[in-house]
Structure 1
């Protein structure tokens, strides 16, 4: 599968907007305490702010991703970690309890990790593509 550079740029922008828009929407601009309650370490307000910062980082390199291929690898690792944490959270927690307390928090916990797994694959593929291109 060959991914075009313009498509990759849009992918970085989409990843950033998902982080920023997702956090701001589902946390109701950091006022939804239910998100914090169900994972107080990873999803504290500080953690949510850092997810927004990661989103800004993705957008910042959208047009220059080929110049920072090792940073793209860091993005892939970051998404891998969040995806793993989300999967582990689902194995040890009751999603219905989150929905019972707040539907926005429930939706957040339903989708955030799927988004992270998707963008892990995207960033990993971009890293491999840029690494191979540099070796040509």
Structure 2
């Protein structure tokens, strides 16, 4: 599969913007339901760090060719969040979160799907950067 460089750059920007959506779901860190529903991972500090990760993705959108190992770090980070979300979904009720706050319910319904999708994206980019064909062009 051959993904165009421009498409990959847009993927990094979209990944960053998706992370920045925590500002909307958390109502700019004023929504207490998200941190109460998962205080270990989704505290306001945790949400702030998600925002910072998003800025990191955007910051490398045009230079990702030069940071293949950081792209792998991004994939691992998304894998961890995806696993944490999956565990949370098995052990908690998202409908209980919806009952308390619709935005928090939407957040918990989708954040892990987003993380799994971008984990796959970052893995594909990493493998593309490591391909023999790509090494010839570097």
2:52 maps to 1:56: no
Find the aligned partners of 2:16 and 2:128 in 1 and give their Cα distance.
20
- 1:134 Cα deviation from its structure 2 partner: 2.6
Aligned to 1:104: 103
Task: Report the Cα distance in structure 2 between the residues aligned to 1:57 and 1:50, rounded to whole angstroms.
Answer: 10
Q: Which runs of 5+ in 1 are unaligned?
A: none
Q: Structure 1 residue runs of 4+, over 6 Å off?
A: none
Q: Which residue matches 1:127? A: 126
Q: TM-score, normalised by structure 1?
A: 0.97
TM-score, normalised with respect to structure 2: 0.96
Q: Deviations over 1:83-127 (max 9, x none)?
A: 010000000001110000000000000000000000000000000
| Paired residue total | 135
Counterparts of 1:134 and 1:71, CA distance in 2:
17
Q: Deviations over 1:39-68 (max 9, x none)?
A: 001000000000000000000000000100
* Residue matched to 2:69: 70
